[in-house]
Amino acid sequence: MPHALSATLPPLRAVSTLNTAERRARNDDKRAQVARDFRSDTVTVPTKEMLALMQEASLGDDVFGEDPDTIELERTVAALAGKEAGLFCASGTMTNQLAIRTHLVQPPHSVVTDSRAHVHCSEAGGIAYHGQAQPHTVFARNGHHMSVEEVLDECVVEEDVHVAMTRLVCVENTLSGMIFPQDELVRLRRAVDDFSIPLHCDGARLWDVSAKTGLPLAELCEPFHSVSLCLSKGIGAPVGSVLVGPTAFIAKARWFRKSFGGGMRQSGPLALAASHALSTVFPRLTAVHALATRLAHGLVERGVALDLPVETGMVWIDTEPAGFSVSELQSRAWEKKGVRIGAPRGRLVLHYQIEEHAVEDLLEVVGELAEERREEAKQWEERVGRDRVDEVRRRSRLYAEGKWEGRIEGPKRSLPAYGRRG
């Protein structure tokens, strides 16, 4: 006999009116869009092969530590990184913030990091909110990476009741697609060891560093006490990041993950998707970098300036020398070619699902705009002067090769500024 309450409830409606064929068509359309989307490498979507594999994933409870596919992913990534243990989490922000919180013990304390770092600029004030720490930021004089001396200048190591002593240094590699020199990281580790300050790496795109330099991930991670390795950016997993470090450290981070509300139950399908992406996409990153370089050269040939050296898969552009704005390029590329870019930042990010034809289409739109705006480009040249024009063009050619010298000015639209001091 039905419960008396059931008679008063409205009938349940279907979650969606789409049938299977319509759902598949919708997903096919999305995959086609992603192949022409330069906004971020986070836009990648699961392949049909990946989705089929997820159906066969283990169904254990990760909070109880009982999911085999999650455990395998954590052990695999930790082994690749040369660390004792790993912790699978929902996002790179979570693994960064868990690492920071786990390293910190008792306020008052401070954390030193790059002024442009994701942990400082793009994680919702997490250092202060979760870690109750004062951020001390380094404005890299070369506009590329922090030097050991610049980091030490910001570290508070004196026991003085007026200050918050530095208890952690955070490094990001890559930062805006630029690779932190490994020898400088080794030197930084030795320097902070003198003050017993641990070193954390936001290695969201550290996979790109390994692919570009040929250095094993374990060697890249060696200078760090902990590393956050994102799997949903260049690697192409639908969700997830792994925090690696010593066994005791990861055990404590797991505790904090629970208090953050980040405990995942049946995480097997996501973990297996990440493992699949790691084995199939990681080897393809060199091709992504090559396509980024090809795009960079094509842009420079059409009068667009580059703001940063193209060392991996990011191309930072300044369209003003070509006579138009990034927002204008965004509109025209979408309207004429169905190509999506971000504006007004001028950041183009390539990923393994970008098709080569999308690069050619974007370059075609840039060429058309440059031809239409020749008068505006000439006005820019007259305004800044011949010496500046020659320097911008010389520097852009250098950046397209992934090289740099002197001080990198960086994107004018970026806050905080690159190379503010120096």
Report pLDDT for 228: 98
Does one domain contain both 257 and 298?
no
205 C-beta neighbours (distance < 10 Å), count = 28
Rounded distance, CA 316 to CA 266, Å? 39
Pairing of strands 314-318, 347-349: antiparallel
- Whether the Cβ atoms of residue 175 and residue 115 lie closer than 8 Å to each other: no
Task: Indicate if the pLDDT at residue 8 is higher than 80.
Answer: no
Q: Would the pLDDT of 71 be above 60?
A: yes
Query: Rounded mean pLDDT of 62-68?
Result: 95
CA 49 to chain centre: 25
Nearest to 198 by CA among 258, 262, 263, 133: 133
User: Per the domain annotation, does 3 fall within a domain?
Assistant: no
> Is 6 part of a structural domain of the chain?
no
Give the pLDDT confidence of 94-106 residue by residue, as tens digits. Answer: 999 999 999 999 9
Domain that holds residue 317: 285-400
Q: Is the pTM of the predicted complex or chain greater than 0.85?
A: yes
Q: Which residues, 6+ apart, have CB-to-CB distance to 381 below 8 Å? A: 321, 389
Res 17: pLDDT: 86
Q: Classify 240 in phi/psi space as left (phi over 0), alpha (psi -120 to 50) or beta.
A: left
178-215 per-position pLDDT tens digit = 999 999 999 999 999 999 999 999 999 999 999 999 99
Lowest mean pLDDT among 137-151, 319-333, 408-422: 408-422
CATH number at residue 159: 3.40.640.10
Angle (CA) 47 28 242, round 5°: 30
Total of domains in the chain: 2
User: What values do phi and psi take at 288, rounded to 5?
Assistant: -65, -45
What's the mean pLDDT when you consider all of the chain? 94
The answer to whether residues 310 and 205 belong to one domain is no
- What is the pLDDT at residue 343? 83
Same-domain pairing of 241 and 375: no
Evaluate whether residue 119 is within a structural domain. Answer: yes
pLDDT at 344: 82
- Let me know whether 296 and 389 are in one domain: yes
Q: What is the three-class DSSP state of 378?
A: helix
In angstroms, the CA 63 to CA 59 distance is 12
